[in-house]
Amino acid sequence: MSKLLLGIDIGTSSCKVAVFKEDGSVVASATGNYKVYYPQKGWAEQDPNEWWEVVCKTTRTMLKESSIDAADIAGIGIDGQSWSAIAMNKEGEVLCNTPIWMDTRASEICDEIKTQISEDEIFTVCGNPLQAAYSLPKILWYKKHTPDIYSKIDKIIQSNSFIAYKLTDKITQDKSQGYGLQCFNMHTGTWDETLCEKLGIDKNMLPDIYECHEVVGLVTKKAAEETGLFEGTPVVAGGLDAACGTLGAGVIHNGQTQEQGGQAGGMSICIDKYSADKRLILSYHVVPNRWLLQGGTVGGGGVVKWFEEQFGEAERNAAKLNGTNSFEEMSKEADTIPAGSEGLVFLPYMAGERSPIWDTKAKGVYFGLDFSKTRAHMIRASFEGVAYSLRHNLEVAENTGAYVNELHAMGGAANSLVWTQLKADVTGKKIAVPASDTATTLGAAILAGVGVGVYKDFDEAVCKTVQIKRIHEPDMKKHIEYQKYFDIYLELYDNLKDSMKKL
């Protein structure tokens, strides 16, 4: 029997676990949900212990309901959402809920830092702007507002590192998640002691840095009992979910680009030389000696999820009758409306916005409503608004000199032929969709495969595991038609941003 690989994905709303064969085919998978808590305006946090509970439950369920022998799993890879700040004490206990990537409570902290340290100095080292959503301002928020918690912190870790710790008892920091801390040197992949001191971060709180495919430990007896996994199974450091998804979509060489269609949206361009822009996000790829120039937006599948939850009773009923799902029914409705939604334009800034505008006060807007507009118009406009945010990031990246020819789509949104084609038309880019819609967990599993020697390198791994199942060529007539609506999309934010702040 071929060796099996386990990928664990700690997403924003759920955990996914999947076991893959060497050829990338899924043997078994399971999903479990957990909550996001919003205790105050601008706050968004989760309990890491709930992640672990769901990992244990879903893994046990998957192994029980399949014919998999846990001893056949050769390695485990973990990916996780970005910009956590998990506060751990010396006993390995979580001290409080962690702010997640949507949390902007540290806005004032960022303003204070910018009066004390040159933004250019920070950017020169880390290649990223100082924004409230990142991990470092959240640590400083602990220091200022919860000194009792801060005084007990031994280490600050990331989401995938937390699961790795629960599996192996080893505290680690993978290289791809380093970009969340502005004291991380994006040139060298190491902590910058000078900036740690200037920013007021105790370097001892920051774990040792590992390559994403590096084995950091073995599944402990306790973890094996809790998860059903085999004691002694190797666990690699893992990495950022977007980076693992990029790997799982087959993007490992310069110029290849991943398009993300999960809860959040965006894109990741693989580059082989350091290249930063303050409007974008720069991280290390999970593949050594590669970086990812990213555009990360809050508008993605979460926009459609919100619309369905609030207004989707008709789609839910239709899905029951047709044996489909509400997302598929929404896609059908969107397809009945012409490109441009007959003048209805949507700004998908449902939790502020990240790149390229970096505005925590930005709001969602439907512009152009009149009596002729229907629910179908609003659904298509929602799809288009997310596509405009993708195009906005792509154009900024290309203006910095990045080259983008073809996008590799991943995430749940890639299952919609309508939405994927719409994105091709809006951006004017060809979009390839890999055969697996589990690109993120596959990427985590590939890291494990390379780390334990199932694959000799990343080229072999991608060649064996990633196949393209369909191609979406852009309709250039529609692309030209979309230009005027994209211009309006850009104008709307510029004209409304001051009003948004007043809200």
Contact (Cβ atoms closer than 8 angstroms) between residue 81 and residue 100: yes
Backbone angles phi, psi at 28, to 5 degrees: -160, 155
Please give the domain boundaries of the chain with CATH numbers for all domains.
4-237 (3.30.420.40), 250-411+475-503 (3.30.420.40)
Please give the span between the terminal C-alpha atoms of the chain, in angstroms, as a whole number: 60
| The pLDDT of residue 1 is above 50 | no
Buried b (16+ CB within 10 A) or exposed e, 134-172: bbbbbbbbbbeeeeeebebbbbbbbbbbbbbbbbbebbb
| The pLDDT of residue 131 is above 80 | yes
DSSP assignment letter at 352: B
User: Per-residue pLDDT averaged across 161-170, rounded?
Assistant: 98
What is the rounded CA–CA span in Å between residue 450 and residue 47? 31
With a pLDDT cut of 90, the percent of the chain lying above it is 91
User: Per-residue pLDDT averaged across 334-345, rounded?
Assistant: 98
Q: So what's the pLDDT on residue 214?
A: 98
33-37, long-range: CB within 8 Å, 24+ apart, which pairs? 36/12, 36/100, 36/102, 37/97
What is the rounded CA–CA span in Å between residue 439 and residue 248? 4
| The pLDDT of residue 400 is above 90 | no
Q: So what's the pLDDT on residue 296?
A: 85
User: Which is more confidently placed, 266 or 74?
Assistant: 74
Q: So what's the pLDDT on residue 2?
A: 64
User: Per-residue pLDDT averaged across 92-116, rounded?
Assistant: 96
What is the rounded CA–CA span in Å between residue 170 and residue 165? 5
> Where does residue 230 rank: exposed (0-12), middle (13-18), buried (19+ CB within 10 A)?
middle
**Residue whose entry in the numeric block shows the structure tokens 């919609």:** 416
Q: For the chain, what's the residue count?
A: 503
- Residue-wise pLDDT for 227-260, tens only, equals 999 999 999 999 999 899 999 999 999 989 999 8
Cβ count within 10 A of residue 491: 12
Q: At what angle do helices 241-248 and 458-465 cross, to 10 degrees?
A: 70
- Residue-wise pLDDT for 455-499, tens only, equals 999 999 999 999 999 999 999 999 999 999 999 999 999 999 999
Q: How far is CA 22 from CA 72, 74, 439, in A?
A: 12, 10, 14
Contact (Cβ atoms closer than 8 angstroms) between residue 340 and residue 384: yes
The per-residue pLDDT of the chain, averaged, comes to: 96
Q: So what's the pLDDT on residue 262?
A: 78
To the nearest 10°, report the CA torsion of 223, 156, 245, 184: -140
User: Per-residue pLDDT averaged across 362-380, rounded?
Assistant: 98
